[in-house]
Structure 1
Amino acid sequence: MPHFIMEYSANLDDDLDIPALFEKLNATAIATGVFPIGGIRSRAIRCEHFRVGEGDPDNTFVHLTAKVGSGRSPEVLKEASDKIFETFSECLKPVFDRRWMSAGFEMIELHPERNYRMNNIHKKLADKG
């Protein structure tokens, strides 16, 4: 983890380079040293039906959620969140500077007893190393 889930308004299709954005977010998550590489996931959800603010069809939105496993201190999560939001903001800035946009980010810590996983990617990466 983290699992990055990005929802965005469909009117941003021509403005967002989602693969490049995810590449930078993943690199930032790895650079924090907080998250195992094999647990990082990124996905985007295009929202065809949306209304932002007063309903102007030129308004846009992007919301990024990072779901992370439990067990890290609040200070560590805050520092990682700050770095991720900085990267997210930098990537969005060219669009933000020319379009009406609401952008948000939240990091959610998953419950330690009700979060189930099955992942053999960690083994794959360890075997390569």
Structure 2
Amino acid sequence: MAHASVEWTDNLEGQFDLKALLTLIADEMRLRADGIFPIGGIRVRGIRLTDYVIADGAGPDDAFINIDVKMGAGRSAEFRQRFFDQLFAAVKAQLGDLFERRPLALSLYVEEAEGWKHNSIHARLKANN
């Protein structure tokens, strides 16, 4: 399991390629995590925020992108440090000069989660191999 939620303020509309960012995160989880995340358990979603206050509320151009990742327990500290450093760098590169064009905060938080799941995507992937 590796689920990522990308929250972004609506004043960023048209300022960056959301689909490319979501795809980048999924590809990083799929291709650069050394098989640690089962492919069928990867989910990446974008959440456009319309209600928010940033800092003192006085900067209408202030914006943020927050990425929350939930993953099952058991990944080593070394893996987590290496992978999420790499992911954060890739996301910053994907956003390009957006930081120079406007006030922007980017954050990435990682949580180990326990949950209940039922997923038939794994069977589809296995049948296709």
- Is TM more than 0.5 here? yes
Q: What TM-score results when the alignment is normalised by the length of structure 1?
A: 0.91
- Counterpart of 1:12 in structure 2 is 12
Deviations 1:7-32 (A, max 9, x none): 11110111121111111111111122
Amino acid at match of 1:27: D
Amino acid at match of 1:19: K
Q: Number of aligned pairs?
A: 126
Runs of 4+ more than 2 Å apart: none
Q: Give, in angstroms, the shift of residue 124 of structure 1.
A: 0.7
C-alpha distance in structure 1 between counterparts of 2:38 and 2:98, whole Å: 31
Q: Does 1:88 align with 2:91?
A: yes
Secondary structure in 2 aligned to 1:124? helix
Q: Does 1:51 align with 2:53?
A: yes
C-alpha distance in structure 1 between counterparts of 2:16 and 2:45, whole Å: 14
Deviations 1:46-105 (A, max 9, x none): 111112122211100110011001111111122111121111111123211211001100
Contact 2:22 2:46 in 1 (8 A): no
Secondary structure in 2 aligned to 1:97? helix
Q: Pick from 70, 73, 78: which aligns with 1:70?
A: 73
Secondary structure in 1 aligned to 2:27? helix
Q: Does 1:107 align with 2:110?
A: yes
Q: What TM-score results when the alignment is normalised by the length of structure 2?
A: 0.91
C-alpha distance in structure 1 between counterparts of 2:27 and 2:15, whole Å: 21
Contact 2:2 2:70 in 1 (8 A): yes
C-alpha distance in structure 2 between counterparts of 1:119 and 1:78, whole Å: 28
User: What fraction of aligned residue pairs are identical, expressed as a percent?
Assistant: 31
Amino acid at match of 1:51: V
Amino acid at match of 2:8: Y
- Counterpart of 2:128 in structure 1 is 128
